Amino acid sequence: MVGSLRLASRTWVPAMVPWRASEDGDVTPAVLAWYERFARGRPGALVVEATGVRDVASGPLLRISDDRFLPGLERLTECVRRASGGETKLFIQIIDFLSIRRRPTPQKYFERFLKVTPRHREFLQMPDGDEPSVRTRLASKPRMTGRLAPEAIAEKLRISQRTVGRHLSGALAHCIGRINAAD
């Protein structure tokens, strides 16, 4: 049982992406042949590949984003029903192609998006620098993302180790002194 749906058997064919749909996301003869092959084995459930729910180009993946895709999906349903003798239930895996924004390159960021402030001018020692000059100078600086070069990290660790060592030594001496005093 899947919810209220009874399956003929407990076997499942999981969703796969065979890249057999048309570039527009329509069911093709290759898609029908792909699913028919699995349906002949009469699994209890067959999960149809990742199917786009937005009306955007998605390469050769099926789509269900508009009524124009329904005739092809109905042909797919009939094909599986016929090949499995009605024993296989179809499920559909949906996928949403969201717009993914990538971080711009530092050059693009400095040229297009950065709001130049007095702090930038102060940092660059360009108190009267015009905005394009400040942007160009910022873009030419080594990356200033808060990451440290390996040598700087190593030096910070050495300093930290010395500091921690001093504090730890003092704390241990204090604890040992208290333990000895208790005896």
Same domain (yes/no): 74, 109? no
Looking at every residue in the chain, the average pLDDT score rounds to 80
Is the same domain home to 29 and 88? yes
**Interstrand relation of 12-13 and 89-95 (parallel, antiparallel or unpaired):** unpaired
**Paired tokens of 160:** 């930290």
Which of 42, 27, 117, 110 lies closest to 76, judged by CA?
A: 27
- pLDDT exceeds 50 at position 4: yes
End residue of a domain, out of 60, 77, 95: 95
Which of 18-27, 39-48, 99-108 shows the lowest per-residue confidence on average (mean pLDDT)? 99-108
Phi then psi for 5, rounded to 5 degrees?
-90, 125
Other residues' Cβ atoms within 10 Å of the Cβ of residue 119: 8
Q: Measure the N-to-C terminal CA separation of the chain; round to a whole number of Å.
A: 71
Question: Comparing 92-101, 102-111, 173-182, which segment has the lowest mean pLDDT?
Answer: 173-182
Higher model confidence: residue 180 or residue 59? 59
The pLDDT, as a whole number, for residue 121 is 87
Whole-number pLDDT of residue 100: 63
Whether 91 and 110 share a structural domain: no
Average pLDDT over residues 45-60: 89
Q: Look at residue 28 and tell me if it is in a domain.
A: yes
Are residue 34 and residue 56 in the same domain, yes or no?
Answer: yes
Number of H helices, E strands in the chain: 6, 3
Structure tokens at 161: 């180790």
Quote the pLDDT of residue 122: 86
- Asked whether residue 165 is assigned to any structural domain, the reply reads no
The torsion angles phi and psi of 13, rounded to 5 degrees, stand at: -110, 115
What pTM value is reported for the model? 0.55
Q: Rounded to an integer, what is the distance from CA 5 to the centroid of its chain?
A: 33
**pLDDT at 183 (0 to 100):** 43
Report residue 88 CA to chain centroid gap: 33
Instruction: Determine the average pLDDT of the residues in 77-86.
Output: 97
Contacts of 41 (CB under 8 A, 6+ apart): 11, 13
Rg of the chain over all Cα atoms, to the nearest angstrom: 32
Q: Which amino acid is at 98?
A: L
Is 53 inside any structural domain?
yes
Number of domains in the chain: 2
Domain containing residue 108: 101-145
